[in-house]
Amino acid sequence: MRAAGQVAARVLRDMAQMVQPGVSILELDQYAKDRIAFYGGKSAFLGYCGYPAQTCISVNEVVIHGIADSRRLVLGDIVSLDVGVLYNGYIGDNAKTVVAGGCSPEAQRLLTVTETALCKGIEQARAGNKVSDISRAVQGWVESNGCSVVREFVGHGVGRRLHEEPQVPNFWEAGKSPTLLPGMTLAIEPMVNLGKAEVKILKDGWTTVTKDGSLSAHFEHTVLITNGEPEVLTWPD
């Protein structure tokens, strides 16, 4: 899992360096394909439930699962890049939102709120805590900053398969929540909207956008529960 996390992190880092006005998102996806192969991995997304691209590239009001096409980035776009790789039998999954050239102060605030929400969630990823401790920390931070968390999609356990138990919601729900144990690996992934929480899925069956057209950001790490501090497996070295 450490090795797979490292490959996923490097591909995401490399891909993010390519984001600038004028580049097409298809070029970004093809570059990701090259980098995944360079590091000896395979896309964990391509073919998953029929998903048609190497990565997910979600621009502005697209929340997640944006499919690369000929669209070219323009100055001020915010671009969520989601990279999952299979490496030596294990999966690393990570995402981040970056800007094409530069962005508005309100877009920048959304990115900072979302990345910090991920950090707040990771901070709770400790043996003995419950999954709901992660959820509560993320939601509390996001909502106290006037943004909203998406409900329809959640983080997840990750291992030999992309989506394993348990689900890791970014919002608190009444009821029982699993206890975290050393050795578990979780993909923690807040999806945060500047406007309302509601999303809709476009006719392609994947592209998920905010209902109100507001900007959305997404940050994700694969995290190992240990006997001590959480270990983020998707920091690039």
Sites of contact with ligand MF3 (CB under 6 A): 45, 48-49, 51, 56, 65, 82, 84, 93, 95, 156, 162, 187, 220
Q: Which is nearer to ligand MF3, 174 or 235 (CB)?
A: 235
Q: Are the beta carbons of 185 and 222 closer than 8 angstroms?
A: yes
CB of 169 to ligand MF3, least distance (A): 13
CB crowding 70-83: b at 16 or more within 10 Å, else e: eeebeeebbbbbbb
Shortest spacing between CB 21 and ligand MF3, in angstroms: 25
DSSP code, position 48? G
Closest distance of CB 71 from ligand MF3, Å: 18
> Which of ligand MF3, Co ion, none is residue 120 near (CB under 5 to 8 Å by kind)?
none
Query: What one-character DSSP code corresponds to residue 50?
Result: G
For the bound state, the minimum distance from the C-beta of residue 53 to ligand MF3, rounded and expressed in Å, comes to 8
The residue type found at 142 is: V
Residue 213 phi, psi dihedral angles, 5° rounding? 80, 5
Residue 201's binding partner among Co ion, ligand MF3, none (Cβ under 5 to 8 angstroms by kind) is: none
First-to-last C-alpha distance (Å) of the chain: 15
Q: Which residue is nearest to ligand MF3 (CB)?
A: 51
